[in-house]
A and B are shown apart, each in its own frame.
Chain A
Amino acid sequence: MLVDDSKFMRALLKKVMASAHNIVGEAENGVEAVDMYEQLSPDIVLMDIVMPHMDGILATSNIVGKHPDAKIIMCTSVGQDEKVKAAIKAGARGYITKPFQGPSVLKEVESLLGQ
């Protein structure tokens, strides 16, 4: 499942993931992400940090609060160290900084799926 307020970033992640994984849902903000997680129970979530309505950290905290085994990878921008720390506390299990390289995202996803 992809969560990002940028349509372009969602398309890019979809393109990167499409070779090996199915994208079951896309959300534009944290509120949508929390609802969608309940409905779809995806294997893994790629979650942007900065989003309107509810950011990725709060959304992660909400999802992990109900589903402690949820596998969430945060997608951060360069220089968001403090947010990364908050995401770790919230329960994120992987971290990717933008701009990313497709094969590394896939590797990170597969590594987390294998845990």
Chain B
Amino acid sequence: MAQEKVVTWLEGKLFFVDTYAARANWVPCKVVLTYGGIWLMYGNEKRGVPLASIASLGREVSKKLIGNVSDYLSIAYVVGGKETTVAITGQSAQLKKLKKYIMFLQLNKKPVYILHPAKVGGAIQDKVSWEQGILNVVWTPGGAADKLVVQRKSGNVEIAMGEIEMIRTENQKINGKPQTIANIKHSSADNVYNTFILAGIQNSLIEYINDHLKEQGVISGHEDGVAGGGGGGDAALEGLEDEILVALYSGVSALEVPTFMDGTDVDQVEEIYDKLISYGLVELVRLRKDVKLTAKGRNIVNKKMQM
């Protein structure tokens, strides 16, 4: 493999997935990621996996094979027309780092197709067309301002990672050819947008965003954001709670909700807000003060009216 500068590495164990095996045969290994691909070193073997040959990352391996190992990274790659899956286990943080860097190398500075904005605030923009662009994966210290930037002729599109609400796949035709695209819903200061992206390695784009959403607690660890539905991770919401969330999303002010939700009193709505806060689905902006006049206050009003 060309470009041998090391990006990151880890020591752990690996096994090549054989679905006919009774159980995994883990062997100690060293895994080295370079700009060109991954070196798998185990026993006396050294196997190179070019980045371009990686078909998917993080695919689940059968529980029967993997046993009790929960922290692992699977890499499926195709060399000479043959697909091979290797599972690597090691320290959780190192595995996450390895996966993140692989995805970075697969996605950064690569050509994509983009449709932006596909929707604004839920309204489909049917006059916008697909364009070609270059995807830049921007990392910042601490990750607070990480973003995806797509450079295109009509102007750059910036998607702040911290503002992504959801990602799902959809079937769309690009240049008359059916493709499975990533539908990324994200907000900016002024509105909520849906941006459609087709990347060369689409799985990695989806996995990269999903991993971010899981890290941030936007979706739960076992939830696949792409599957859609099931909002709020593990939060079990009832009808009224769901409706209040939708109303808030649509722009009904939190203070107007009791009036808007016919037959719901303020105390009931505030209880629901407490529940939604505890689930991390809404955050407290301010506490409203409810007051009534004292005798002294009423006295002043009476005097004012006599003037």
Contact = CB atoms under 8 A, between A and B. Distances in A.
Interface in A64-85: 78-79, 81, 84
Q: How large is the interface on B (under 10, 10 to 19, 20 to 34, 35 or more residues)?
A: 20 to 34
B168 A99 contact: no
Given A11-B260, A12-B252, A16-B250, A100 B123 contact: yes
Nearest to B120: A104
Given A8-B243, A16-B250, A81 B123 contact: no
Nearest to B192: A101
A37 interface: no
B188 to A, nearest CB: 12
Interface in A1-48: 8, 11-12, 15-16
Nearest to A78: B228
B170 interface: yes
A62 interface: no
Given A11-B262, A79-B170, A101 B191 contact: yes
B250 A102 contact: yes
A104 B124 contact: no
B252 A15 contact: yes
Contact of B126 (A79, A95, A98, A107): A95
B173 to A, nearest CB: 10
Contacts of B243: 8
Given A79-B168, A81-B170, A107-B123, A12 B247 contact: yes
A105 B126 contact: no
Contacts, number: 74
Contacts of B121: 100-105, 107
B123 A95 contact: yes
A79 B250 contact: no
Interface string B156-199: 00000000000010111000000000000000000110100000
Contacts of A96: 122-124
B249 interface: yes
B251 A101 contact: yes
A12 B124 contact: no
A19 to B, nearest CB: 10
8 contacts: A11-B262, A12-B252, A12-B260, A15-B252, A81-B172, A97-B119, A101-B122, A101-B249
Given A15-B252, A101-B121, A104-B192, 15 more contacts: A79-B228, A81-B171, A95-B126, A97-B124, A98-B122, A98-B246, A99-B246, A101-B191, A101-B250, A102-B250, A103-B121, A103-B251, A104-B121, A105-B123, A107-B123
